Protein backbone atom coordinates (compact mmCIF):
# COMPACT_ATOMS: atom_id res chain seq x y z
CA UNK A 1 0.00 0.00 0.00
CA UNK A 2 2.88 2.33 0.83
CA UNK A 3 4.44 1.69 -2.60
CA UNK A 4 1.14 2.57 -4.29
CA UNK A 5 0.90 5.85 -2.39
CA UNK A 6 4.49 6.76 -3.36
CA UNK A 7 3.77 5.89 -7.00
CA UNK A 8 0.58 8.01 -7.06
CA UNK A 9 2.40 10.89 -5.39
CA UNK A 10 5.30 10.66 -7.85
CA UNK A 11 2.84 10.52 -10.76
CA UNK A 12 1.02 13.59 -9.58
CA UNK A 13 4.28 15.50 -9.21
CA UNK A 14 5.44 14.75 -12.79
CA UNK A 15 2.05 15.24 -14.49
CA UNK A 16 2.24 19.07 -14.63
CA UNK A 17 5.64 18.79 -16.29
CA UNK A 18 4.25 16.47 -18.93
CA UNK A 19 1.24 18.71 -19.55
CA UNK A 20 3.51 21.72 -19.96
CA UNK A 21 5.51 19.90 -22.63
CA UNK A 22 2.49 18.80 -24.65
CA UNK A 23 -0.04 21.56 -24.09
CA UNK A 24 -1.42 23.71 -26.86
CA UNK A 25 0.08 26.81 -25.27
CA UNK A 26 2.85 28.26 -27.48
CA UNK A 27 6.33 28.16 -26.07
CA UNK A 28 9.83 28.93 -27.34
CA UNK A 29 10.31 25.56 -29.00
CA UNK A 30 7.13 26.11 -31.04
CA UNK A 31 7.98 29.64 -32.15
CA UNK A 32 9.07 29.06 -35.72
CA UNK A 33 5.52 28.96 -37.08
CA UNK A 34 4.20 31.85 -35.01
CA UNK A 35 4.05 35.12 -36.91
CA UNK A 36 4.59 38.63 -35.64
CA UNK A 37 1.83 41.22 -36.10
CA UNK A 38 3.98 42.83 -38.81
CA UNK A 39 4.21 39.54 -40.73
CA UNK A 40 0.47 38.96 -40.44
CA UNK A 41 -0.17 42.52 -41.63
CA UNK A 42 2.12 42.05 -44.62
CA UNK A 43 0.40 38.78 -45.60
CA UNK A 44 -3.07 40.35 -45.46
CA UNK A 45 -1.85 43.42 -47.33
CA UNK A 46 -0.42 41.23 -50.12
CA UNK A 47 -3.74 39.37 -50.43
CA UNK A 48 -5.56 42.69 -50.59
CA UNK A 49 -3.28 43.99 -53.33
CA UNK A 50 -3.90 40.86 -55.42
CA UNK A 51 -7.66 41.12 -55.02
CA UNK A 52 -7.59 44.85 -55.84
CA UNK A 53 -5.59 44.16 -59.01
CA UNK A 54 -7.92 41.35 -60.01
CA UNK A 55 -10.89 43.65 -59.38
CA UNK A 56 -9.35 46.37 -61.57
CA UNK A 57 -9.07 43.86 -64.43
CA UNK A 58 -12.52 42.30 -63.98
CA UNK A 59 -15.21 43.20 -66.53
CA UNK A 60 -18.27 42.06 -64.58
CA UNK A 61 -19.46 44.76 -62.18
CA UNK A 62 -20.66 42.23 -59.59
CA UNK A 63 -17.39 40.28 -59.62
CA UNK A 64 -15.43 43.53 -59.49
CA UNK A 65 -17.33 44.70 -56.40
CA UNK A 66 -16.91 41.30 -54.76
CA UNK A 67 -13.12 41.43 -55.29
CA UNK A 68 -12.96 45.01 -54.00
CA UNK A 69 -14.94 44.00 -50.92
CA UNK A 70 -12.54 41.14 -50.28
CA UNK A 71 -9.58 43.50 -50.74
CA UNK A 72 -11.20 45.91 -48.26
CA UNK A 73 -11.54 43.14 -45.70
CA UNK A 74 -7.91 42.11 -46.16
CA UNK A 75 -6.57 45.67 -45.93
CA UNK A 76 -8.69 46.19 -42.84
CA UNK A 77 -7.21 43.07 -41.21
CA UNK A 78 -3.75 44.25 -42.21
CA UNK A 79 -4.00 47.59 -40.43
CA UNK A 80 -5.68 45.82 -37.53
CA UNK A 81 -2.63 43.62 -37.05
CA UNK A 82 -0.18 46.48 -37.49
CA UNK A 83 -1.16 50.05 -38.48
CA UNK A 84 0.87 51.12 -41.52
CA UNK A 85 0.69 53.84 -44.16
CA UNK A 86 0.37 51.58 -47.23
CA UNK A 87 -2.44 49.61 -45.61
CA UNK A 88 -4.46 52.71 -44.70
CA UNK A 89 -3.94 54.27 -48.13
CA UNK A 90 -4.97 51.08 -49.94
CA UNK A 91 -7.97 50.69 -47.63
CA UNK A 92 -9.07 54.26 -48.34
CA UNK A 93 -8.69 53.81 -52.09
CA UNK A 94 -10.74 50.60 -52.06
CA UNK A 95 -13.43 52.29 -49.98
CA UNK A 96 -13.58 54.95 -52.70
CA UNK A 97 -13.96 52.27 -55.37
CA UNK A 98 -16.82 50.80 -53.35
CA UNK A 99 -18.46 54.23 -53.02
CA UNK A 100 -18.00 54.38 -49.23
CA UNK A 101 -16.72 57.93 -48.92
CA UNK A 102 -16.98 58.37 -45.13
CA UNK A 103 -14.98 55.22 -44.51
CA UNK A 104 -12.54 56.28 -47.23
CA UNK A 105 -12.06 59.65 -45.56
CA UNK A 106 -11.30 57.96 -42.24
CA UNK A 107 -8.73 55.56 -43.72
CA UNK A 108 -7.12 58.23 -45.93
CA UNK A 109 -6.90 60.60 -42.96
CA UNK A 110 -4.99 57.93 -41.04
CA UNK A 111 -2.60 57.66 -43.99
CA UNK A 112 -2.11 61.45 -44.10
CA UNK A 113 -1.49 61.41 -40.36
CA UNK A 114 1.36 58.96 -40.90
CA UNK A 115 2.83 60.75 -43.93
CA UNK A 116 1.52 64.33 -44.13
CA UNK A 117 3.43 65.15 -47.33
CA UNK A 118 2.21 62.13 -49.29
CA UNK A 119 0.57 63.23 -52.52
CA UNK A 120 -1.45 60.00 -52.96
CA UNK A 121 -2.77 60.20 -49.39
CA UNK A 122 -3.76 63.86 -49.80
CA UNK A 123 -5.46 63.04 -53.11
CA UNK A 124 -7.33 60.21 -51.41
CA UNK A 125 -8.66 62.62 -48.77
CA UNK A 126 -9.71 65.11 -51.46
CA UNK A 127 -11.49 62.39 -53.45
CA UNK A 128 -13.31 61.24 -50.32
CA UNK A 129 -14.47 64.80 -49.62
CA UNK A 130 -15.83 65.41 -53.14
CA UNK A 131 -19.55 65.70 -53.55
CA UNK A 132 -21.18 63.31 -56.04
CA UNK A 133 -21.43 64.78 -59.53
CA UNK A 134 -25.03 63.62 -59.88
CA UNK A 135 -27.78 62.98 -57.39
CA UNK A 136 -27.14 59.27 -57.87
CA UNK A 137 -23.69 58.25 -56.66
CA UNK A 138 -22.39 54.95 -58.00
CA UNK A 139 -19.27 53.04 -57.05
CA UNK A 140 -16.46 53.21 -59.59
CA UNK A 141 -17.06 50.81 -62.43
CA UNK A 142 -20.82 50.95 -61.76
CA UNK A 143 -23.32 50.63 -64.54
The alpha-helical segments, DSSP class H, found in the chain are 2-22, 37-57, 61-81, 85-98, 101-114, 119-129
> Along the 143 residues of the chain, how does pLDDT read in single tens digits?
555 444 444 544 544 444 444 455 555 555 557 689 999 999 999 999 999 999 999 999 999 999 999 999 999 999 999 999 999 999 999 999 999 999 999 999 999 999 999 999 999 999 999 987 654 445 555 54
pTM for the whole thing? 0.71
CATH of region 37-129, choose from 1.25.40.10, 3.40.50.300, 1.20.1560.10, 2.60.120.1440:
1.25.40.10
Question: What is the rounded CA–CA span in Å between residue 22 and residue 131?
Answer: 59
Amino acid sequence: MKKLAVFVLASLMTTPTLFAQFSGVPNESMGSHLKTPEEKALNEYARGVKDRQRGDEEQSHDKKMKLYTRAKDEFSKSVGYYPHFDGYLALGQVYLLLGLKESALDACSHAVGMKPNSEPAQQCVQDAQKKPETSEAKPAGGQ
